[in-house]
Structure 1
Amino acid sequence: MNLPAILSPKQSPPVAGPPARLCVLASGSGSNFAAISDAIERGELNARICCVIHNVLDAGVVARASERAVPSVFVDHRAYKSRQAFDACIVQLLSKHAIDWVIMAGWMRLCTDVLLDAYEGRILNIHPSLLPSFGGLRAVEQALAAGVKISGCTVHVVTAAMDAGPIIAQAAVAVESDDTARSLHARIQVQEHRLYPIGINLALGLSISKT
């Protein structure tokens, strides 16, 4: 299936200036962290991942970060009495590392106003659907249940409303007649790994153009 070019953005030249200081928030394997790190190494993204924050002790992202000499910090959300208190700890860590942009990569926590206010417009997420369709959990299963012929992934700015912030970039994935949630998600992840560095670069460019 030939998909619209608008849903298959190409890599633009990296934004000029000092490298953006990124923190990746992750709860899982860290495959998107690795894709972003690799894009930086290839010179496609003018940024530096200064730290990884994870809320699952044995998350796969820890090993990936160690392989790339990126410091990782474990913050157990269960140790805090409220989501606001947890986010306050996150903000303190971000400030300690002088972070410019927060990159959510499989971060299974909702943001409160504590984090959103501290980094307004500078928190990005990638979601496994073509938003605004199929926001929230189990997006791939939602798409299959709806019978859509095209799914994909979306890089967007994080706001108080779940998966409803401004869209930065999207990539489309054709849904095959014999797809399962696992097979479709695997193909979407391939596009996520390509799209997220592109989306970050676009967001950095938009930020500079507004200053």
Structure 2
Amino acid sequence: MLNIAVFISGGGTNLQAIIDAVKENKINGKIKLVFSNRKNAYGLIRAQNESIDTFYLNRKKFFSNEEYDERILEELEINNIDLIVLAGYLNILSSKLVSKYSNRIINIHPSLIPSFCGDGFYGENVHKAVIKSGVKFTGATTHFVDENVDTGAIILQDVVPVFINDDFETVAKRVLEIEHEILVKTVKAFCDNKIVFKDNRAFIVEE
């Protein structure tokens, strides 16, 4: 059974999806730690309600991302963390942390990468850009994290339609539903050692 740390910055609905899947024995792992860079993130309460250890650090008290992540790494090592899941975590990880957990950090992004991703594309900004562009489909992507923004190997994607009367909020709600689904599938596959690489591309295999 793998030890999982979930990083959040907000309400933690994707965290809740993982919590529920673990409780239902759908994931062969244990959430050992929930970390947030925001003190009032509701996801911390979700974790505390399940007796999961939580950890908050104020980024402003650290000189650099590297120094900030050094402290996070200490906590990860204390908890023997095998997998980090970024579930709405709005801070860029340092190269040291990414290197230490190479191919062991998974992110969920609310678009079909490589569209609507990279610097500045997070939260409602993504869905506003989707509406403005006029695309007819959008979706969500799970991917491994590398040293750049949203450029790591794609693991899973799913698609939703964009309708004529949609606004960014209705699109966000539709995308969030599939985020929960593919994130749980991805974490399950990782814990079951079912993710393989071919030519720097990631795939989930059933056999």
TM-score (norm 1): 0.87
| Alpha-carbon displacement from aligned partner over 1:50-80 (angstroms, at most 9, x marks no partner) | 0101111111011100111101011111110
Match of 2:179 among 162, 183, 192: 192
Deviations 1:183-207 (CA, angstroms, capped at 9, x unpaired): 1001111111111010112234245
Equivalents in 1 of 2:39, 2:61: separation in Å?
13
Instruction: For 1:175 and 1:64, locate their aligned partners in 2 and report how far apart those are by CA, in whole Å.
Output: 31
Partner of 1:14 in structure 2? none
Name the residue aligned to 2:100: 118
Distance 2:89 2:167 in 1: 24
Query: In structure 1, what is the equivalent of residue 143 of structure 2?
Result: 156
Larger relative contact order (C-alpha < 8 A, sep ≥ 6)?
Answer: 1
1:209 CA drift (Å) = 9.1
Please state if 1:70 is matched with 2:57.
no
Alignment of 1:1-211 (within 5 A): 19-136=1-118, 137=121, 138-204=125-191, 205-206=193-194
**2:202 aligned partner:** none
Partners of 1:168 and 1:202 within 8 A in 2: no
- Encode CA deviations 1:105-133: one digit per residue, 9 max, x unaligned: 11100111111111011000000001111
How many residues are treated as equivalent by the alignment? Answer: 192
In structure 1, the residue matched to 2:204 is: none
Q: Is the 8 A contact 1:168 1:203 kept in 2?
A: no
Secondary structure of the residue aligned to 2:15 is helix
Q: Secondary structure at the match of 2:88?
A: coil
TM-score for the superposition, normalised by structure 2: 0.89
Q: Check 1:166–1:120 CA distance in 2 against 1; reply closer, same or farther (3 A cut).
A: same
Large movers: runs of 4+ above 3 Å: 206-210
Greater strand content: 2
